[in-house]
Amino acid sequence: MLKKLFLLLLLVIFIVLTIKSIMGKPNELEVGDTIPAFILKDQNNNDFDIDRFRGKKSMVIYFYPKDDTPGCTKEACSFRDEFEIFTDLNVEVIGISADNVTSHKKFAEKYRLPFTLLADTKNKVRKLFGVPSSLMGLLPGRVTYVIDKNGIIAHIFNSQFGAEQHITQSLSILKEIKE
């Protein structure tokens, strides 16, 4: 029985990898690229237009897998704990996942998150940025983009398991941009 389950698991992994290779790699944005325009609902069900900030302030846009999971909570709380530094640097912090508005609202209230969470329920913005999946395509990727005030990507950090490093890397780059 265990052997059959193992073989079935291998077959599923093989199929997933085959489909991914046929479909090709998404068009990932790179350092130096301009971020695409988009509008999503925030945790208060308001339209959030990224172009309100382009040309006005730097941004950190971080894509994360799911609200209220251990790694994502650690990452969000780390952004919260350093939020005053981001504010002092005149930086807008924006978290994006496929969770809906209600989930984001509960997550933000539960952990007192002072920044914007956007509901990308159809993964349209994730695809626009070309955020790669991890663990053989089974998990949505955890990627942070540091964006200058002109909407140009200054730094990209991709690490599924280094949740807190997203914050330290972002602050380091933002301080360089500021100087």
- For residue 133, is pLDDT > 70? yes
- 52-74 pLDDT, tens digit each: 998 899 999 999 989 988 878 88
Q: What are phi and psi of 167, to 5 degrees?
A: -75, -50
Instruction: Give the residue, 165 or 82, on which the prediction is more confident.
Output: 82
In this structure, is the dihedral angle defined by the CA atoms of residues 118, 55, 79 and 112, taken in order, positive or negative?
negative
| pTM of the shown model | 0.79
- 7-42 pLDDT, tens digit each: 666 556 656 555 554 344 457 888 899 999 999 999
- So which residues are the catalytic ones? 72
Lookup: tokens for 22: 């046929």
CATH 3.40.30.10 fits 46-178, yes or no: yes
Measure the CA–CA gap between 38 and 124, rounded to whole angstroms.
Answer: 9
Q: What is the residue extent of each domain of the chain?
A: 46-178
- 145-156 pLDDT, tens digit each: 999 989 999 988
